Structure 1
Amino acid sequence: MMTELEKVMLEDVEYSYDPEKEYIKDGHAFCKVCHERKDGKVMEFFDNKMIFKISCKCDRDRDAREKERQKQMEIERLKSSCFNSIIQWSYTFENYQGEENQSLIIAKNFVKKYEEMKKENIGLLFYGSVGSGKTYLACSIANSLIEQYRISVKIRNFSQIINELQKGGFDFDKNAYIESLVNTSVLILDDLGIERDTSYAKEQVYNIVNNRYLKQKPTIFTTNLSYDTIVNCTESMEYQRIYSRIIEMCIPVMVVGEDFRKAIQKDKLNRNKDRLLNGGERS
């Protein structure tokens, strides 16, 4: 039930206030919690004088909390749209367990210099052996871009894209699906080279890559292929066209290191082993 407002004359102008939240002292209204003044200057509108309320510390704190809540909801929505797995939400620079190497520095600075990269349409091509941490770095970039800039980012692999296009039902709009990938602010295409070697698959890969190139949208790729294989492609003309575009769009970044997935799993097992040894308490 709402408290009935009371009225008082301040500077010869009627002022309404909630006695449970404000008190009157020395001709002004004050917040009962932070004791900051609540009545503003007397304003005149069409020969009528009015007093508008001003924000006190309690109001500002409440607004800040609401703003932060809305921000976190937006971040959660963007991450839900971005990632295929909830575990990728934890793939961050803060949780990175490898050495501070060149690939990590470049990944961090891509986020820091994102506006410049966007303007120049510069993407990244992470290449290296299986388990070296390419996907982890790409997801770390995605998490940071979403948290810092609150932009749309998507991570998909080509096999997943082709499967979606081929299994779509009658109500599946293939063009809209492709457009959603082409138009997202930053697209991460994971595991380049594992897509099906069919004309249809290669055509879809090229369409996505080429349209993002034409629309000046930064794209990040990860691949187990060597950079030499991409640069000196001797396969079909379709692959040559795809790789040529990627070379134009992306800075090549070699990712080296121990098997990243094994390192993460080893750390997880060790932490839980310690918990069990400590009687179930968190270590």
Structure 2
Amino acid sequence: MDGCTLCQDRGLILQGDVAVPCRCALQKSIQQRLADSNLPRNLTSCTFAKFDFSYYSKNCLDPVKGISFYQSACRAYGAARDFIRAFLRDPYTDGLIFTGQVGSGKTFLACCIANALLEQKKELLFVVVPDLLDKIRSTFDGQRQGEADLTEQDITDAAREVPLLFLDDLGAHNYTEWTKNKLYSILNYRLNECLPTVITTNISLEDLEGYLGRRTTSRLFQMCRPYRLLVEVDIRLIRRQAREAG
């Protein structure tokens, strides 16, 4: 992980004669409270070696791209590997957005990226979009549950400023003007600062604007390269049935 130029990784800086916590220490603390070790426990074992191409049909065709589900998965997989190499060379590279129906492997592939970069000691934040919005909302609706010192600004700044942000499940939810504005604020900041974001969504590219609005969708298209994952049957259902049968 790159060192802090302000405190040289000591976590403290001097303001006059007084030592105060450095912004980097505050940021790390906020991210820790937001999402513990960033990744959900059941996704910390996701690796590229475990990405199973057999779930993706070589006979079924993507009606939009005209290529097989298998070819589409190969492209997404390749883009994920390429992203890691690009990010390690230049942390201001373009992001990715993985689209596809529920259970098509989007989150798994995003977590392959996250785990590979965590092994390289890179700083990142993984958040599920509905959970992030709930955490922001909880700072002012009386539901803080022990995080009374965590403000709305703290949470949004953590998502805005982290070197690499993963937004999981930017799905077909009921987005109010408030939630649209919060997402726009985060994405617009990251676009302006050239900070990459990896996004998963079950909304098609064609329908994104109807859920998120033109401003937010425009930012997504500017900052992320899209890839599509398609399956005939929910992969999670197949795996669950295999475990029960075994």
**How big is each residue's C-alpha offset from its partner over 1:208-260, in whole Å with a ceiling of 9 and x where there is no partner?**
11111112110011111112223xx3x48x61100000000011101123422
Structure 2 Cα separation of the partners of residues 239 and 117 of structure 1: 30
CA contact (8 A) 1:178 1:208 kept: yes
More strand by share: 1
Structure 2 Cα separation of the partners of residues 218 and 189 of structure 1: 11
Determine the structure 2 residue equivalent to 1:90: 45
Structure 1 Cα separation of the partners of residues 243 and 53 of structure 2: 15
Structure 2 Cα separation of the partners of residues 244 and 186 of structure 1: 20
Q: Does 1:104 align with 2:65?
A: no
Match of 2:188 among 204, 210, 216: 210
Structure 2 Cα separation of the partners of residues 135 and 81 of structure 1: 16
- Gaps (5+ residues) in structure 2? 1-31, 55-72
Displaced runs of 4 or more, over 3 A: 193-196, 266-270
Structure 1 Cα separation of the partners of residues 116 and 177 of structure 2: 36
Cα distance, 1:128–1:117 mapped onto 2, change above 3 Å: farther
Q: How does 1:48-127 map to 2 (within 5 A)?
A: 80-83=36-39, 85-99=40-54, 101-116=74-89, 118-119=91-92, 121-127=93-99
Structure 2 Cα separation of the partners of residues 82 and 167 of structure 1: 19
Determine the structure 2 residue equivalent to 1:219: 197
Match of 1:155 among 98, 103, 126: 126
Match of 2:206 among 228, 233, 252: 228
* TM-score under structure 1 length normalisation: 0.61
Cα distance, 1:264–1:114 mapped onto 2, change above 3 Å: farther
CA contact (8 A) 1:82 1:152 kept: no
- Gaps (5+ residues) in structure 1? 1-76, 274-283
CA contact (8 A) 2:172 2:203 kept: no
Q: What is the SS of the residue equivalent to 1:101? A: helix
Cα distance, 1:189–1:222 mapped onto 2, change above 3 Å: same
Higher RCO (CA-CA < 8 Å; seq separation 6+): 2
Q: Which amino acid aligns with 2:50?
A: N
Cα distance, 1:204–1:227 mapped onto 2, change above 3 Å: same
Q: Does 1:264 align with 2:236?
A: no
Q: What is the SS of the residue equivalent to 2:227? A: strand
* TM-score under structure 2 length normalisation: 0.69
Structure 2 Cα separation of the partners of residues 222 and 251 of structure 1: 12
